[in-house]
A and B are shown apart, each in its own frame.
Chain A
Amino acid sequence: MISTQGLSKRFGYRWVLKDVDLDAQAGEIVALLGPNGAGKSTLLRILATLSKPTLGECQIAGFSLPQQAAAARARIGFLAHQPLLYEDLSAEQNLAFYARLYRIKRPAARVTELLRLFDLHLRRQEPVRIFSRGMQQRLALARVLLHNPRVLLLDEPHSGLDRAALDVLDSLLRKLAKKGTTILFATHDLHRAQSLARKVYVLAEGRLVAPSDGRRRIPGSFSGVYSRALRAAQKGA
């Protein structure tokens, strides 16, 4: 469902991604770990068709990027660092607008369903500007799920959420994966990655330094592997 071969990205003279080979099957939850500046967001933006790779190949939901980016977009849901919402519009107006862009059948029902799911229904008429960080994140997640995408690319989806919202999100992601949705999420949180993902990639200085084997369970001592991999990458750089 997601596959990259030798994916590299350069900004000016700096390579922010180098030879990234990544693979995620349908219904798989895959975590992308790494420190700040490792290239996680850049990788997700390329997979979401917002950026083009400098080198390498990339397939998502059966489409090659960047050649078939336009066709792939209908199958991708991307949660970015920013909520990608209009602050002056209400929660309901934001979702209704995106529902129109994605040509969703019965948009009002879908919007209400998602507002209820993320516990925003009672504040649906309020402008996003006055929402807390966590509420904006929940609304952004609702936006991402509007069109039932087959591939979810989530950049730090847990950030800003309280305990209850974290549990709702995790159970929702597991449920979606069971239905066949492929989920790739970037995080700093090793424990979250271990509890949720079946496969973990570690990105440091733009390179994958510790891909785990999807057929094995992630070992309990993975934190040690993660720390050693990051130290080695930093020394190498």
Chain B
Amino acid sequence: MRLKRGLSLAQYLATVFAILRKDLAVEWRSRQLLAAMLIFTLLVILIFNFALELDARVRSEVSAGVLWATFAFAGTLGLNRSMAVEKEGKALDGLLLAPVDRSAVYFGKAFANLFFMLVVAVLILPMYAILYNVNLWHSGFLLVVLLGSWGYSAIGTLLATMAIQARSRELLLPVLLFPLLIPVFVTAVRASSFFLQGLELTYIWPSLNLLIAYGLIMPALGYMFFDFIVEE
């Protein structure tokens, strides 16, 4: 299979994997991104837990909303840090000089961001289950976490790349990102809530379909527009 610029699919995937591997290596050596995301997530969950003082019934109803709000805010920390790595020493220019399809750079970064969000989720969910007294070990709920995180990473990586050019990028990213996240956020909260309440799949399918559609459309936008976004 040939892609843009006549590269084979294997070469394209090798580039995606090289970027992903590089981001993981950078994080392994610096341990800044995951640490910031984890500490922030823990604090927000604790604050919500003590501030809301909910009874057991209300807790199970609002827990999905609290969880996704926490993920959304922690995710922006991760996205900012992920692109700051490219800004230091102008490393992004090094990527743009390479004879690779630039959309592969986008996918490499998006998969790395997805990986970091999932690591945070894996570490946080057990604590969250204890504090909010909800059983989160439901395969459907975990699927929603995966789909929602992918949608978030796909659009977040694209917008973080846009924001990196700006002087006040830490402020700009949430301003650009959150309005576009509303569909995935609302749908993920609804689907998570339905799964946690044990509703039948018939009620949940529309939300899942929307998450899947979002998870396909956003990467397609990244594939098409990343090259234009990184052009000077």
Chain B contacts for A86, CB-based, 8 A: 22, 26, 85, 88-89, 91
Contact between A84 and B89, CB atoms less than 8 A apart: yes
Contact between A84 and B93, CB atoms less than 8 A apart: yes
Q: Which of B94-102, B112-120, B125-133 lies on the face that meets chain A?
A: B94-102
Contact between A100 and B18, CB atoms less than 8 A apart: yes
Contact between A52 and B99, CB atoms less than 8 A apart: no
Which of B89, B91, B98, B232 contacts A51 (CB under 8 A)? Answer: B232
Nearest CB to that of B28 among chain A residues?
Answer: A88
Q: Which of A75-83, A206-214, A221-229 lies on the face that meets chain B?
A: A75-83
What 1/0 flags go to B70-98 for Cβ under 8 Å of A? 00000000000000010011110111111
Chain B contacts for A85, CB-based, 8 A: 89, 91, 94
Summed over the interface, the residue pairs from A and B with CB atoms below 8 Å come to a total of 77
Contact between A127 and B91, CB atoms less than 8 A apart: no
Contact between A70 and B99, CB atoms less than 8 A apart: yes
CA distance in complex: A74, B101 (Å): 12
Residues of A that sit less than 8 Å from B by CB? 45, 48-52, 70-71, 73-74, 76, 78, 80, 82-90, 93, 97-98, 100-103, 127-128, 143
Interface size class of chain B, counting residues whose CB lies under 8 Å from the partner chain: 20 to 34
CA distance in complex: A93, B5 (Å): 27
* Sample of 20 A–B contacts (CB below 8 Å): A48-B97, A50-B96, A71-B99, A73-B97, A73-B98, A76-B97, A84-B89, A86-B91, A87-B88, A88-B85, A89-B26, A89-B29, A93-B22, A97-B18, A97-B21, A97-B25, A100-B18, A101-B18, A101-B98, A103-B14
Nearest CB to that of A75 among chain B residues?
Answer: B99
Q: Indicate whether A80 sits within 8 Å of B90 (C-beta atoms), given known contacts A51-B232, A89-B26, A93-B25.
A: yes
Q: Indicate whether A52 sits within 8 Å of B232 (C-beta atoms), given known contacts A84-B97, A101-B100.
A: yes
Chain B contacts for A87, CB-based, 8 A: 88-89
Contact between A102 and B98, CB atoms less than 8 A apart: yes
B187 at the interface (CB under 8 A from A): no
Most buried by A among B26, B91, B93, B97: B97
In the assembled complex, how far is the CB of residue A162 from the closest CB belonging to chain B, in whole angstroms? 21
Q: Indicate whether A78 sits within 8 Å of B89 (C-beta atoms), given known contacts A52-B232, A97-B18.
A: no
